[in-house]
Amino acid sequence: MQRIKMTISYDGTAFNGYQIQPNGRTVQEEVQRALKQMHKGQLIHVTGSGRTDARVHAAGQVIHFDTPLSIPLDNWTRALNTQLPADVRVLRAERVPEDFHARYHVVRKTYHYRVNNRAASDVFRRNYAVHEARELDIDDMRMAAAHLIGEHDFTSFCSAKTDVKDKVRTIYRIDIEKENDELIFTFEGSGFLYNMVRILMGTFLEVGRGDRQADELPSILEAQDRSKAGKTAPPHGLYLWEVSYS
């Protein structure tokens, strides 16, 4: 058996999230279906670096699986892409030691969040960026973000629907760049709790609109109370961008 690590990209629009579940189409299911084709009907279980929700995109999700097949790495990419639907693509395949684990060995994750900030919504970006008609104050949002850098208990920025006990995470970087009428937020951290990026984004958007002050962020963190933070921003602006391993 060989363990293979794959970097995959998907357009989340037509998926009910990454992880297999009873209802709706999932990315894991499509990848496993394609692998089953290549393995003459044998089920190959894949493990992802983490879930993504319905309509959330991935530019660099990482998965691993074990296979008895011994084929060149380039052929893995090509063969799987032939079997996969057009909204999932394998970008890279690597051979890894058999103790490599796509979820447990993550040391850093990067997410992007895109906001289309102009008066009229753009039909071509409706599934790929969140539309915000009100002008957002980037400086205020940068000040808000600065309060979150470092190690904190992010209970206030975590969906109540989670079993995770330890809510301490480290955020290394939150950047906000403007490209024409699009704002691109980059979040880099040791790991992120359930809905954490979307709740951070919802809070930043309230600051950007002037509905909340940047200097409220420290007290929101301290409260360790989900209700103190902003609304959960919509899923379709979010991209799992990169997953790094030691």
- Is 10 annotated in a binding site? The answer is no
> Cα angle vertex 51, ends 47, 56, to 5°?
130
H or E element that contains 130: strand 130-131
Between residues 91 and 223, which has the closer beta carbon with respect to a second copy? 91
226 binds a second copy (CB under 8 A): no
Which one of residues 73, 91, 164, 168 is an interface residue with a second copy (CB under 8 A)? 91
Query: In the complex with a second copy, which residue's Cβ is closer, 133 or 164?
Result: 133
Is residue 57 a contact point for a second copy (CB under 8 A)? yes
> In this complex, which beta carbon is closest to a second copy, that of residue 11 or of residue 153?
11
> In 45-105, where do the E strands start and end?
47-48, 57-67, 88-96
Name residue 155's amino acid: T
**Measured between alpha carbons, how far apart are the two ends of the chain, in Å?**
23
Residue 201 as a binder of a second copy (CB under 8 A): the answer is: no
Query: Is 153 among the residues known to form the active site?
Result: no
CA distance 177 to 223: 29
186 touches a second copy (CB under 8 A): no
What does the alpha-carbon distance between residue 29 and residue 87 come to, in Å, rounded to a whole number? 13
Q: Pick the catalytic residue: 11, 53, 139, 211?
A: 53
Nearest to 26 by CA among 13, 35, 16: 16
Identified binder of a second copy from the candidate list 97, 124, 161, 246, rule CB under 8 A: 124
Question: Which residue numbers are catalytic?
Answer: 53
Residues interacting with a second copy, by CB under 8 A?
9-11, 57, 59, 86-89, 91, 120-124, 126, 128
